Amino acid sequence: MPSPQETLHQVFGYEQFRDEQEGIIQHLISGGDALVLMPTGSGKSLCYQIPSMLRSGVGIIVSPLIALMKNQVDRLLQMGVRAAFLNSSLDFQSQRKVEIQMQRSELDLLYVAPERLMTESFLRLLEKTPLALFAIDEAHCVSQWGHDFRPEYLQLTILHERFPKIPRIALTATADLPTRKEIAEKLQLQNAKLFLTSFDRPNIRYHVELKENSRHQLLQWIQGGHEKHSGIVYCLSRKKTEKIAEFLQKKGFKALPYHAGLDSEVRNLNQERFLNEEGMIMVATIAFGMGIDKPDVRFVAHLDLPKSLEAYFQETGRAGRDGLPADAWMTYGLGDVITMKKMISESAADEKRKRVELQKLNSLLGFCETTVCRRQVLLKYFGEERNESCGNCDTCLEPIETWEGTVAAQKAISCVFRSGERFGANHLIDILLGENNRRVEQFRHDRLSTFGIGKEYVFSQWHSVFRQLVAMDLLTADLDGFGSLKITEKARPILKGEKKIFFRKDPEPKKRERIKTRLPKPTLADFDFQEPESQKLWEELRSCRLELARKQGVPPYMIFHDSTLKELVCRRPQTLEEFSHISGVGEFKLKTYGEDFLEVVKKYPAGTAEKIPTVASSNDSASGLSDTASDTLDLIREGKTPEQIAALRQLKLNTIYNHLAEAIQHRQLNVEEILSLPIGEVRHIENTMLSLQENQPGMKPVFEAYQGKYEYGILHCVRAGLLARER
């Protein structure tokens, strides 16, 4: 039997396991049960795929979505893994065929829908089949509180009762504690080993923008670097998805709507197109999402507030599964808060549930209004404490100022009180500003004691105050649907002056423009190449991939991910042997596609590549590299690690890293080549550098920002990589 490591390498073409993957796999292989909580895109599927392949018998994967099953199976088939699925989309004959394959042990993995699994006939069939394991994917579907609840999932305990010896693994990307507990209880996995990894998605950059003209803002956002990318735009209503899709189409984008009210044929077609075509924008309600594991979604935008931080995390998590930089962007304003509160109060749910939902909304608003690192707030919600700021969210990149607004808050709240808690923010602001308009006169509000007491601020500032008071739950929206504001219990200490209050200073619109242009452009796959030759090769590789994908009717990323193509451009392998070392190239894909891609790459001589060790020119001194750095570089090319070189040359490890930094800056070496950090982490450090260097030059602030997690030498290499790209 091959080892998990060998399988990872030969079948999937990956070098190393991530985080807990190996531990989970070992645990299952030795027959244990597991409950796995890992964020979207972190590589959950490998955790059951490899044990299914290595244990004898077939692994049964329970999955809630038909589209998801087909996608997973197609992917496995691309790698030469024996996989199939069983669900209502197959005709009778195909179903029989799969069942026979299964009984003859001709399959390593079988994906089934839960309702199918639960039929007596299928359970009997399972009893006659050698089984490797049961995997329950999207296990949060068992949670009655969650929005993906599937009643069939509750019956899955049958598996445990009827097949007590077969190991089970339940997986989910939903992290909150109550759901976790519910999964363990409902699936009888209390004794399973819990595997929990960090929920951080370092390659996703979070932004929240104040809503002014959201369409226009969205357009600007997309045009600021995402013109050619796949993305998802979430809206609250079905109608809005259609309108926004149409708007984007008119502006020249490939955009499609998706919501539960569309004809199922149209819906499937739109989904297929999103998965298969490049640069497609899906404008959707939350009906779209679960199981969309397209790796190269480059942005997720929210034009309306999601329901909770969990929902936000799930939805934004669909961006950047491939680990390359991606954006999560949201516009939000007072109107959204009022709409959401109204929706919750008017829903048919019982009081307890409404309270839970309001609490969740409040946490989300806290995230929107935060003045500290957004990632800290997000992770804290999932129980992870972070001390350092991330350097990759809007509040880190452009710190938010605060102001003490106790008096302003008192004025605003009294104004709500004096006018009888019957009016919305705009009218209240008119009173505060002392506007003598018709409505003010009609209600004789010019006689209120709060009339004209707020002239020290302008309209937009007061608007910001009211929005934040609502977000802090000091004011709340009434159920009348007109946005009237009422005072909550929590406002009392403020009115009495017992508690100070701080507001965030909203950036002025003009300033916001400036921020956007100053932000480092996302260093995305297709922007990365300096040499025109590389760009040409990249385009050619992409069309080669597209052609192969079309022939088979699968999405391009199933052939190779962008990250694999990118590596091909940089490394320019000239033989199949060299080709096999590229990440994402397993044995089967090498056999199937190696020649096709090699033929393209060979047209571009290695010497003209972006400079990296294997293909760099032999004359280093001509490139301005110092002799001692050259010596280090030679040793790196012999395959030595920096630690080995330090020992060999009797130099400090940091010195070796400084040599490497020099080589990187001279583009003799790629930063990814020598640092064993995931690309997301490298980008993370880069972003921190870019955001810090503005105010504090030097490396010390960066070193401290990570509390010494990365040695100076490593930081120097990362910075050299940045400089090399700027050249």
Contact residues toward ligand ADP (CB under 6 A) are 14, 16-18, 21, 38, 40-46, 293, 295, 321
For residues 512 and 649, which CB has a smaller minimum distance to Zn ion in the complex? 512
Residues 6+ apart with CB under 8 A from 585: 13, 560, 564, 579, 594
Nearest-angstrom CA–CA distance, 177 and 172: 12
Phi, psi (deg, nearest 5) at residue 500: -85, 160
**Which one-letter amino acid corresponds to residue 372?**
V
Closer to ligand ADP by Cβ: residue 24 or 431 = 24
CB of 543 to ligand ADP, least distance (A): 22
The residue of the chain with the least Cβ separation from ligand ADP equals 43
Residue 35: φ, ψ to 5°: -115, 120
460 vs 425: CA distance, rounded Å:
11
Partner whose footprint covers residue 390, from Zn ion, ligand ADP, none (CB < 5 to 8 Å by kind)? Zn ion
Please state, in angstroms and as integers, the Cα–Cα distance from residue 32 to each residue in 23, 43, 123, 190, following that order. 11, 20, 22, 12
Q: Does 204 bind Zn ion (CB under 5 A)?
A: no
Tokens for 593? 């596609």
DSSP string, 398-410: SPPPEEE-HHHHH
Minimum gap (Å) between residue 687 Cβ and Zn ion:
9
Q: DSSP string covering 517-553, please?
A: HHSPPP--GGG---SHHHHHHHHHHHHHHHHHHHHHT
Helix (DSSP H) and strand (DSSP E) numbers for the chain: 35, 17
Indicate whether 375 belongs to the interface with Zn ion (CB under 5 A). Answer: yes
Question: Choosing among Zn ion, ligand ADP, none, which partner's interface includes residue 45 (Cβ < 5 to 8 Å by kind)?
Answer: ligand ADP
Nearer of residues 46 and 412 to ligand ADP, judged by Cβ: 46
Contacts of 604 (CB under 8 A, 6+ apart): 533, 536, 537, 572
* Shortest Å distance, C-beta 320 to ligand ADP: 10
Nearer to Zn ion, 294 or 375 (CB): 375
Q: Is 377 in the site for Zn ion (CB under 5 A)?
A: no
Output b/e per residue, 409-445; b: 16+ Cβ within 10 A.
bbbbbbbbebbeeebbbebbbbbbbebeeeebeebeb
Answer with the entry of ligand ADP, Zn ion, none that 230 interacts with (C-beta below 5 to 8 A by kind): none
Burial level of 496, CB count in 10 A (0-12/13-18/19+)? Answer: exposed
CA-nearest of 534, 541, 525 to 667 is: 534
CB closer to ligand ADP out of 41 and 257: 41
For the CB of residue 138, give the shortest distance to ligand ADP in the complex, in Å. 9
Q: Which does 597 bind (CB under 5 to 8 A by kind): Zn ion, ligand ADP, none?
A: none
Nearer to ligand ADP, 44 or 259 (CB): 44
Rule CB under 5 A: say whether 519 interacts with Zn ion.
Answer: no
Residue 360: contacted member of ligand ADP, Zn ion, none (CB under 5 to 8 Å, by partner type): none
Of positions 50, 281, 301, 390, contacts Zn ion by CB under 5 A:
390
How many residues belong to the site for Zn ion (CB under 5 A)? Answer: 6
Q: How far is the CB of 312 from Zn ion (least distance, A)?
A: 15
What 3-state DSSP class applies to 120? helix
CB burial of 697-708 (b: ≥16 within 10 Å; e: otherwise) equals: eebeebbebeee
Q: How far is the CB of 618 from ligand ADP (least distance, A)?
A: 32
Least CB distance to ligand ADP at residue 40 (A): 4
Binding letters toward Zn ion, positions 405-434, x by CB under 5 A:
------------------------------
Q: List helix spans (H) across 351-458.
A: 351-369, 374-381, 394-397, 406-418, 425-433, 438-442
Q: Select the binding partner of residue 586 from ligand ADP, Zn ion, none (C-beta < 5 to 8 A, by kind).
A: none
Among 396, 558, 569, 715, binds Zn ion (CB under 5 A): 396
d(CA 481, CA 273): 38
- Out of Zn ion, ligand ADP, none, what residue 27 binds, judged by CB under 5 to 8 A for its kind, is none
| Residue closer to ligand ADP, measured from CB, 262 or 328 | 328
CA distance 302 to 460: 23
From the list ligand ADP, Zn ion, none, partner contacted by residue 44 (C-beta under 5 to 8 A by kind): ligand ADP
Q: Which of residues 79-108 bind Zn ion (CB under 5 A)?
A: none
Q: Which stretch of DSSP H or E encloses residue 83?
A: strand 83-86
Closest to ligand ADP by CB, 38 vs 409, is 38
Q: Token pair for residue 114?
A: 């839960």
Q: Which residues of 228-252 are buried (b: 16+ CB within 10 A; e: fewer)?
A: ebbbbbbbbebebbbebbebbeeee
d(CA 557, CA 296): 8
17 binds, among ligand ADP, Zn ion, none (CB under 5 to 8 A by kind): ligand ADP
Q: Exactly one of 81, 208, 393, 501 binds Zn ion (CB under 5 A); which one?
A: 393
CB of 393 to Zn ion, least distance (A): 3
Query: Is residue 554 close enough to count as binding Zn ion by CB under 5 A?
Result: no
Site for Zn ion contains 373 (CB under 5 A) = yes
Residue 40 contact, options Zn ion, ligand ADP, none, Cβ 5-8 Å cut-off depending on partner type: ligand ADP
Minimum distance between the CB of residue 198 and ligand ADP, rounded to whole angstroms? 13
User: What, of ligand ADP, Zn ion, none, does residue 375 touch, CB below 5 to 8 Å by kind?
Assistant: Zn ion
- 559 is a site residue for Zn ion (CB under 5 A): no
User: CB under 5 A: which stretch of 53-61, 387-395, 440-448, 491-499 binds Zn ion?
Assistant: 387-395
470 near Zn ion (CB under 5 A): no
Q: Identify which of 293, 306, 303 has the alpha carbon closest to the alpha carbon of residue 255.
A: 303
Residue whose CB is less far from ligand ADP, 61 or 720: 61
Which residues of the shown chain bind Zn ion in the complex (CB under 5 A)? 373, 375, 389-390, 393, 396
